[in-house]
Chain A
Amino acid sequence: MTFTTLELRSITVRFDGVVALKDVSFVLESGRIFGLIGPNGAGKTTLVNVISGFQKPSEGEILLDGAVISDRAAHTIARLGVARTFQAVRLFRDFTVHANLHAYGVGCGLSSRAARERADAILAWLGLSHMAEWRADGLSYGDERRIGIGRALAAGPKFILLDEPAAGMNEEECDELMRLIRDIPGRFGCSVLLIEHNMRVVMNVCDRIAVIDFGRKIAEGTPAAVSADPAVRAAYLGEEVA
């Protein structure tokens, strides 16, 4: 497995004077699951948007294996191997489930056949092979979200950014989701950046966690270290996990 890193260097994002992110840095290592947590409005989704190229940073840069990618367009970043999920999944609704995955693989440069085989493998992994030929319209919420993760993996990315995958899921669905996320690095050779609200999911699957609050990183470390950090408890965990 090739060793790839995604590095954020002093990322700052301002929207008309409002500072959404201030001087955020961290390094994602290959094969790891990195968690990013923070209260609502802390800047989590802005960070995903910056990494995936939907938002240009006001300052700072992002490097993939040492090469700057923060000045590239979103579709180029996708092609370079940084995939993401969306909170609103937005599947192609007149395509089948399988065709949705296939289109992503092809869009990112896989051959049609390689994309098809990969889509088959991912659907099998998700336990959704029986839905392959269903039209991607009117699917249940949980299925749609799982397909969203599958789609992000369909192009064989090096990094996958999961934007609040557990949102709206019940306990049981969360358990299934945790199993899937833990499985991603080993099975797909792909590191994970997990942005999540659900503490149980984050604490259980992540190797390492960064906490942001008001756009600043206030802590980084192992789940145990982070949850013991007094600054984190004061800013965030104190309200949720007493």
Chain B
Amino acid sequence: MTTFLQICVDAASLGSLYALAALGVGLLWGVMKLVNFAHGEFITIGAYALIVPSGAVIPQLFIGALPIWLMVPTMCLIVAVVALITERIIFRPLRHADPSTLLVASFSLSFFLQYLILLIYGGRPKSIQIGASLNGEFAFGPLRTSWIDIVTISTTIVLLIAVALFMTRTRMGVQMRAATQDFRMARMLGVRGNTVIATAFAVSGVLAAVVSFFLMVRTGALAPRMAAPLVTIGFIATVIGGMGSMVGAILGGFLVGVVSAFMQFILPEAMRPNRDAFVFAIVILMLLVRPNGLISLRSQKERV
């Protein structure tokens, strides 16, 4: 029983990170049919913003030296601004391009940002330590867990509720959901396309910054391609959740987290390094069974 609970905590904690990554990706797919590969670089930039730009392996903390209550909002602000700049310069002029053009543009942006980071910070992996107090372990009855797991899970829950309230209760959120359903019709109905898409980018940036904070507290490892695996999982989560559905993206993220955590436990010791092969085999199976994802939206299907 204790082992099971232990796995559940791991699953929820990992699933939280995946869900946040998936929501960041899913939001932009929803409003503008953009598969944003550069979301990974948004996360990376959030992490690199913590240090003073230099090539040193043990870098000096910059924003990372601030107290957490100031550090996290600053990270969010920086990544949101980067996201807004990419929207303005790259994705707004391509608004009416087809999804494959957007896809290639986001790929290019992703590489551009990676090499920009390489140029400024050098290619050697770096290691930093922030939020050390969060890495402390504590026992809850027989259950042993670290604060960061609890903080990750609870912050994610709060963020998801906040996004849900934003989407259903605020005027901007209602317009964003309408744009997700049918962008052209939403514009015809008075929705300001530019504002809605810019807001989606900003929210996506904030979600990326939160992910980079958790990642940095957990691993502290910085590398130009550090977020690539996480964002790949984010994409997979949006697909198995059902493209265009934000609830689906979140569910998909948690699902991949749960499968990973349980695989870690079920697989024999020798096979654990190959865990992801099993995780993705399950993903393929799921897609064979439900090709439209867990939540299949009618608005995303072709009209006849």
Task: List A residues at the B interface (Cβ < 8 Å).
Answer: 54, 74-75, 78-79, 86, 90, 92-95, 99, 102-104, 106-109, 111-112, 137, 151, 155
Contact = CB atoms under 8 A, between A and B. Distances in A.
B274 interface: no
A77 B186 CA distance: 14
Interface stretch (B89-97, B140-148, B174-182): B174-182
Contacts of A111: 171
B190 A78 contact: yes
Given A92-B182, A93-B299, A94-B181, A112 B169 contact: yes
Contacts, number: 66
A155 B298 contact: no
Contacts of B169: 112
Given A75-B193, A103-B174, A92 B299 contact: yes
Given A75-B191, A86-B188, 18 more contacts: A74-B187, A75-B188, A78-B189, A92-B185, A92-B299, A93-B298, A93-B299, A94-B299, A103-B174, A103-B178, A107-B189, A107-B191, A108-B190, A109-B190, A112-B170, A112-B171, A151-B189, A155-B189
B174 A102 contact: yes
A74 B188 CA distance: 6
Contacts of A112: 169-171, 174
| Most B CB within 10 A of own CB, among A79, A93, A103 | A103
11 contacts: A75-B189, A75-B190, A94-B181, A94-B299, A103-B191, A106-B171, A107-B186, A107-B189, A111-B171, A112-B170, A155-B190
B297 interface: yes
Contacts of A103: 174-175, 177-178, 186, 189, 191
B192 interface: yes
Contacts of A137: 298
| Most B CB within 10 A of own CB, among A74, A92, A137 | A92
Contacts of B297: 94
Contact of A95 (B170, B181, B192): B181
